[in-house]
Amino acid sequence: MSITFSIPNKRGFLGFQKVLKISELLGFVDGLEPHPIQKEFMYLGLDKLALLKCWVPAKSGRYIDLEYDKTQQTYNVRILTPSRLADWSQTLTLISKLSSRLGTSIRDEHGREYSSSSVWDYPYQEDIVFGLEDFLKSGYELVYQDGIRRTLALSPHLVEGLLKADNPAQSYSDFFTTRQYIGAYDAQSKFYGSEQSEKILGTYTLTAGVDTILPLVPTLAPEDTEYIDESKLSWCCNLVGCDDADPDNLEKFFIYKRISYSDFLDKLPENMTQLFDAEKVLVSAMTFAQMKALFEDCQEFVL
């Protein structure tokens, strides 16, 4: 879901004004930048791109989409539902300043009209709550929300908790922001095969001294299902140790043990974990001594 605002280009005696350059549009909001792969288009008119995705580094949670509709001669600005309060502030700043620059009004997708000043009265907090409530009504077990750095999985239970807060819009914004910018390693799955047994090993890695985001239940990504037979797949966790006296020396890291993923989760203490989203857990950085104490009685996993 999303909300789109349209700002008509200004008409002159000889037709519509020249479409603004991307650099001019981004200049309306402090720190606003194009998606990294679109930086080379900064000095083109917006009409030269099918879609521009933009964000404010270290502040945005979700991208803002900009496009120029050549048929309607309008600048269209789209924000996802729900988006954080800061994302809404960036979006409304962009819309307001663009409207003021062009001297034209703003329309939302429902036909409601705003001036460059009255657009700030748009009920964006209600839109955040609407997006959360709509998920509950949908009946889905999970919904995925793309962020600047990470995609988050939301469950009905998690969303209900956000909606029960005194300020659901702020609660959602804090939840989303923290998880986009937390300085933790996103563990990636790797796969290994055995020619003798035709079995497949799926692995995640926890390294001593590193905050790590790991799945609560390891599953194949959609792109992996095409070439991996899940019936032959076993999951495990590689535990990587280090010298606690010299934890920054990469040459002193080593594979301490490989254990089954279920054993790994069973041994994690609550005081070292935090629910990251509906599918993942954040494991706090531990010393190698702590790692050994937690997992030394786990059997080595053998494929």
User: Average pLDDT in the 135-143 region?
Assistant: 91
Q: Write down the pLDDT at residue 223.
A: 83
Q: Is the pLDDT of residue 50 over 90?
A: yes
How is the chain split into domains, by residue range? 1-181, 185-295
Taking the C-alpha atoms of residue 85 and residue 172, their distance in angstroms, rounded to an integer, is 9
Q: Which amino acid is at 14?
A: L
Element (H, E) at 5: strand 2-8
> Taking 70 as the threshold, does the pLDDT of residue 197 lie above it?
no
Q: What is the pLDDT of residue 195?
A: 64
**Which conformational region is residue 240 in: left (phi greater than 0), alpha (psi within -120 to 50 degrees), or beta?**
beta
Q: Please say if the pLDDT value at position 16 is more than 90.
A: no
What pLDDT does 196 receive?
65
Quick one: pLDDT at residue 247?
65
Q: What whole-number percentage of the chain has pLDDT above 70?
A: 98
User: So what's the pLDDT on residue 302?
Assistant: 79
SS3 (DSSP) at 58: coil
What share of the chain has pLDDT > 90, as a percent?
A: 78
CA–CA distance, 188 with 185 (Å, rounded to integer): 9
**CB neighbours (10 Å) of residue 240?**
18
Per-residue DSSP letters for 142-179? -EEEE-SS-EEEE-HHHHHHHHTSSSHHHHHHHHHHHH
Q: Which of 34-38, 61-65, 207-211 has the lowest mean pLDDT?
A: 34-38
Would you state the pLDDT for residue 153?
96
Say how far apart CA 39 and CA 22 lie, in whole Å: 10
Distance between CA atoms of residues 43 and 66, nearest Å: 15
Name the pLDDT band for 134 (thresholds 50, 70, 90). Answer: very high
**Mean pLDDT of all residues in the chain?**
92
The stretch 43-69 carries a mean pLDDT of 94
Average of per-residue pLDDT across 189-209: 86
> Which pLDDT score, from 0 to 100, does residue 270 have?
92
Average pLDDT in the 193-211 region? 86
Give the model's pLDDT for residue 102: 95
Helix (H) or strand (E) holding 54, with range, is: strand 52-55
